[in-house]
């Protein structure tokens, strides 16, 4: 079953969640004006799957059920699947800025890999249980939010060491028919307008943290769940050319004695598998984030070019503007190319899905996280200061100033003021509004802070192979007879002194690396 955007909106009416926005209780998520830009953006992921021209990108066959499902909910099994997801997410984000729904697929992939490993290691029955749940979501075209990032409290302490109760979501009771969870997940995209949440651990866990090693699914309106959310985008603001229509809400999820039946529990205390889940999810998600921000970059490139034109300048004939545009293009296509490489060199996971190659996924996400501010800077530089100085749309028809504005704030003679103002407001919306701050912060921290990517790059990169390369040219054991200690310590599975379990991702042959 594939829903349309209207059917998706309607489906939200079946839920009665406890949602508050800025201290105001939300009566109906589907109708709340503060949430419309988010619901609109999510709706695009539904409508595009119904359009014939987008079907090859937006619809995929789920190998475990044989059914066609929305690409945002799919488990990839080939490198072509990874590439198709990348293209689909870029397409969706060109339209919406951020399509949000891809989080579901990333969560599914993390759980797909972890449950399989955990069953083999511990004799649990999570994988079949998870497949049943995933098929239910896919078959009903639902969307699940990712509730992974805990409140975390004091970052220097492990979950069980925290002084403030609830800093990490934990199992507080195990009953005959399920578990009870308590705690706070602090940052959840689209929280008010998801059908369900995948509650996942956000880090590796030790034996003492066992009760925090929990993965499960919880409906939007589970008794005991409170969602404190922010408006999606800039609803109702006239100047918000883009984010008045499309935006993203974020919510904090407070779990107070929330009961989860066993058929929705996918990890319960097997602490050794927490890191596998976190890391698998992160690799898929960082790969997806690359495409999402490339779609946003496409909007920046287009809006900057239009602004220059409205100003009367042609980047093709103005050397320094051409240079800035090339920098912008290089940045966007540079990190996107890492997404393509991660897809092409995707690695088959023992669970049966296809993982994006981790080094390229993490480098792409890292480049994007560090360069998003340059992207905004370049758009500011070529556009000029008018983008933050333009009188508001209310002045457009102010009889005192309308004629003067139309004359004096015109750029190129044949482009009317209204059109120039339209583009300027779009550039402001994307680069200098509160929503622009959202885009930079999600690029920086969404999917993990840059440090997390650096750790993964170092952990997965075959430095030892490079050492051997050089040793072949020089004498083997050129430094010491025992070999290179640095390279040995950086290899997967040797990342920390507690001896965590690394996902068994085969290494990409060195010859394939650029």
Ligand X SMILES: Cc1cc2nc3c(=O)[nH]c(=O)nc-3n(C[C@H](O)[C@H](O)[C@H](O)COP(=O)(O)OP(=O)(O)OC[C@H]3O[C@@H](n4cnc5c(N)ncnc54)[C@H](O)[C@@H]3O)c2cc1C
Q: Which residues of this protein are in contact with ligand X, per CB under 6 A?
A: 103, 146-149, 152, 155-156, 187-189, 250, 438, 441-442, 445-449, 451
Q: What is the DSSP string of 222-282?
A: -TTEEEEE--SS-TT-TT-TTTTTS---EEEEEEEEEEEEGGGEEEES-GGGHHHHHHHHH
CB closer to ligand X, 155 vs 481: 155
CA distance 77 to 58: 16
* Contact predicate 308/314, CB 8 Å: yes
511: Cβ contacts below 8 Å, ≥ 6 apart: none
Shortest gap between Cβ of 185 and ligand X (angstroms)? 6
Shortest gap between Cβ of 200 and ligand X (angstroms)? 7
Shortest gap between Cβ of 227 and ligand X (angstroms)? 12
CA distance 65 to 51: 23
* Contact predicate 362/455, CB 8 Å: no
| Distances from the Cα of 278 to the Cα of 148, 198, 447, 500, angstroms | 9, 12, 10, 12
Shortest gap between Cβ of 152 and ligand X (angstroms)? 5
Bridge partners of 20, per DSSP, are 25, 228
- Region of 97 (left: φ > 0; alpha: ψ -120 to 50; beta: rest) is left
CB closer to ligand X, 416 vs 450: 450
Of the candidates 512, 491, 493, the residue with the CA atom closest to the CA atom of residue 503: 493
Q: Strand order of the sheet with strand 24-25?
A: 24-25, 18-21, 225-229, 250-261, 178-189, 170-174
Shortest gap between Cβ of 293 and ligand X (angstroms)? 12
* Contact predicate 453/268, CB 8 Å: no
CB closer to ligand X, 191 vs 355: 191
Q: Residue holding tokens 């945002």? A: 72
Shortest gap between Cβ of 431 and ligand X (angstroms)? 16
CA distance 402 to 391: 11
Q: Read off φ and ψ for residue 267, nearest 5 degrees.
A: -160, 130
CB closer to ligand X, 226 vs 318: 226
CA distance 328 to 371: 10
CB closer to ligand X, 148 vs 308: 148
CB closer to ligand X, 15 vs 438: 438
CB closer to ligand X, 58 vs 250: 250
CA distance 510 to 514: 9
Shortest gap between Cβ of 395 and ligand X (angstroms)? 32
CB closer to ligand X, 145 vs 411: 145
Shortest gap between Cβ of 285 and ligand X (angstroms)? 8
Of the candidates 255, 120, 130, 256, the residue with the CA atom closest to the CA atom of residue 191: 255
CB closer to ligand X, 250 vs 267: 250
CB closer to ligand X, 60 vs 188: 188
* Contact predicate 315/322, CB 8 Å: yes
Shortest gap between Cβ of 107 and ligand X (angstroms)? 9
Shortest gap between Cβ of 443 and ligand X (angstroms)? 9
CB closer to ligand X, 70 vs 189: 189
Q: Read off φ and ψ for residue 294, nearest 5 degrees.
A: -65, -40
Shortest gap between Cβ of 380 and ligand X (angstroms)? 21
CB closer to ligand X, 85 vs 152: 152
The secondary structure of the chain in percent helix, strand, coil, rounded to multiples of 5, reads 55, 15, 35
Shortest gap between Cβ of 365 and ligand X (angstroms)? 11
């Amino acid at each position: 079953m594939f829903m349309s955007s209207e059917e998706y909106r309607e489906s939200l009416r079946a839920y009665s969640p406890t949602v508050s926005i800025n201290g105001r209780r939300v009566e109906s998520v589907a109708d709340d004006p503060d949430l419309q830009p988010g619901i609109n953006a999510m709706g695009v992921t539904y409508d595009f799957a119904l359009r014939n021209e987008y079907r090859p990108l937006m619809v995929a066959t789920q190998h475990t059920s044989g059914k066609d499902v929305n690409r945002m909910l799919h488990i990839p099994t080939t490198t072509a699947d990874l590439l198709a997801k990348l293209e689909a997410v870029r397409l969706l984000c060109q339209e919406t800025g951020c399509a949000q729904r891809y989080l579901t697929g990333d969560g599914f992939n993390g759980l797909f890999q972890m449950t399989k490993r955990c069953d083999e290691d511990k004799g649990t029955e999570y994988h079949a249980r998870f497949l049943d749940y995933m098929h239910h979501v896919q078959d009903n075209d639902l969307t699940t939010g990712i509730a992974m990032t805990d409140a975390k409290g004091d970052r220097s302490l492990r979950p069980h060491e925290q002084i403030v109760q609830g800093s990490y979501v934990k199992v507080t009771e195990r009953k005959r028919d399920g578990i009870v969870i308590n705690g706070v997940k602090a940052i959840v995209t689209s929280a008010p307008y998801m059908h369900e949440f995948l509650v996942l651990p956000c880090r590796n866990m030790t034996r003492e943290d066992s009760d925090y090693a929990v993965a499960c699914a919880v409906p939007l309106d589970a008794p005991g769940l409170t969602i404190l959310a922010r408006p999606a985008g800039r609803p109702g603001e006239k100047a918000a050319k883009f984010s008045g229509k499309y935006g993203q809400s974020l919510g904090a999820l407070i779990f107070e004695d929330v009961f989860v039946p066993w058929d929705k529990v996918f990890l319960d205390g097997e602490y050794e598998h927490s890191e596998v889940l976190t890391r698998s999810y992160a690799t898929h998600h960082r790969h997806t984030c690359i495409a999402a921000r490339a779609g946003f970059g496409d909007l920046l490139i287009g809006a900057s070019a239009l602004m220059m034109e409205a100003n009367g300048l042609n980047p093709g004939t103005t050397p320094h503007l051409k240079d800035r545009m090339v920098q912008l293009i290089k940045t966007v296509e540079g990190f996107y190319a890492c997404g393509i490489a991660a897809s092409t060199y995707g690695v088959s996971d023992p669970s049966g899905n296809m993982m994006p190659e981790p080094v390229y996924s993490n480098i792409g996400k890292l480049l994007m996280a560090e360069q998003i501010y340059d992207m905004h800077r370049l758009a500011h530089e070529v556009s000029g200061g008018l983008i933050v100085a333009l009188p508001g749309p209310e002045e457009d028809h102010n009889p005192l100033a309308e004629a003067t504005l139309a004359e004096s704030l015109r750029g190129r003679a044949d482009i009317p003021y209204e059109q120039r103002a339209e583009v300027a407001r779009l550039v402001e919306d994307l680069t200098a509004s509160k929503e622009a701050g959202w885009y930079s912060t999600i690029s920086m921290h969404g999917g993990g802070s840059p440090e997390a990517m650096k750790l993964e790059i170092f952990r997965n990169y075959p430095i030892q192979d490079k050492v051997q390369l050089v040793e072949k040219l020089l004498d083997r054991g050129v430094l010491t007879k025992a070999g290179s200690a640095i390279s040995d310590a950086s290899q997967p599975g040797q990342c920390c002194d507690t001896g965590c379990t690394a996902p068994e991702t085969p290494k990409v042959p060195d010859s394939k690396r650029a």
